[in-house]
Amino acid sequence: MFRRKSNSPKDEESVVLQHERQINELKASLGPLTGRSLQYCTEACLKRYLEARNWNVDKSKKMLEETLRWRASYKPEEIRWHEVATEGETGKVFRANFHDHHGRTVLILRPGKQNTGSIENQVRHLVYLIENAILNLPEDQEQMAWLIDFTGWSLSTSVPIKCARETAYILQNHYPERLAVAFLFNPPRVFETFWKVVKYFLDPKTFQKVKFVHMKNKDSVELMRSYFDLDHLPTEFGGKAALQYDHEEFCMQMARDDVKAAKFWGFDEHQFNGVEVAPEPECLVPPVS
């Protein structure tokens, strides 16, 4: 007879100790770090990269070193809202003013409101908002949730495949284990054609996080209820709250968050990336939380 696998506290403790050793091993393998690389490579960060590579230290090291090179070149922490604000005018991507039941930051994506043609700027805008979502995570939370509303989406207005591929690459390789779940809400049938191509860019872990949600499906409604307070969830996603994107208000919030980001990364809060930053305004509108 085969014995059932034991999940005793002793076994769980053994796994915890093993993971601690792997985290320390990864940290040591990176060698001495300085500046932003040192600030980036927290214990929680090392753990995310190890989880993304099934706790293989060598593969995790390679992945993390590639990210450190990318961050040194792309400088995502230096992107300012005014540089990408044009991309956000239609509210195609923005941070929601509510969290899910786990306290995760929520990004709302509305691909049907695509308003520009530059892939480089579209990706830069999304990277800015991913960094912003991370900046606004509660202390005990590492991940975000995405709500994707397909209202108005069509193949003619969809982002180019190249943009989708680059987005998937950056999310999976430079923000591992940051995405908890992505809800694709009411995608039209024609989306299946687009999805058949895009899904091949996703690694198995990311693929499992993608949930298709249809408003008329009872299981979909229950799924959304299990993640969100329906009183806070916008009606577009099956909730009861009215959603009205106000670009001017969001711009003010991002200006405040740029100051917060400058402080976090150790920049002079009034001189960020060589551009003067306006002092944080008094509370003209309630901050998005």
Count the domains in the chain: 2
- Which domain CATH number covers 165? 3.40.525.10
Which of 139, 215, 203 is CA-nearest to residue 165?
A: 203
Instruction: Provide the CA 32 distance to its chain's centre, in angstroms.
Output: 28
Angle at CA of residue 99, ends 265 and 163, nearest 5°:
65
* Domain shared by 54 and 141, yes or no: no
* Domain shared by 55 and 96, yes or no: no
The one-letter code for the residue type at 89 is: E
Does 288 map to a domain?
no
Per-residue pLDDT of the chain (289 residues; tens, 9 = 90+): 444 555 677 777 788 999 999 999 999 999 999 999 999 999 999 999 999 999 999 999 999 999 999 999 999 999 999 999 999 999 999 999 999 999 999 999 999 999 999 999 999 999 999 999 999 999 889 999 999 999 888 877 777 888 999 999 999 999 999 999 999 999 988 888 889 999 999 999 999 999 999 988 999 989 999 999 999 999 989 999 998 999 999 999 999 999 999 999 998 755 554 444 444 433 333 334 3
* Domain shared by 141 and 159, yes or no: yes
Could you list the residue range(s) of the whole structural domain that residue 29 is in? 14-74
- The two counts, helices (H) then strands (E), for the chain are 11, 7
* Domain shared by 38 and 136, yes or no: no
Does 101 map to a domain?
yes
* Domain shared by 157 and 180, yes or no: yes
Does 253 map to a domain?
yes
* Domain shared by 36 and 158, yes or no: no
* Domain shared by 168 and 211, yes or no: yes
* Domain shared by 130 and 178, yes or no: yes
* Domain shared by 20 and 49, yes or no: yes
**CA 102, CA 222: separation in Å to the nearest integer?**
16
Quote the pTM value: 0.88
* Domain shared by 50 and 101, yes or no: no
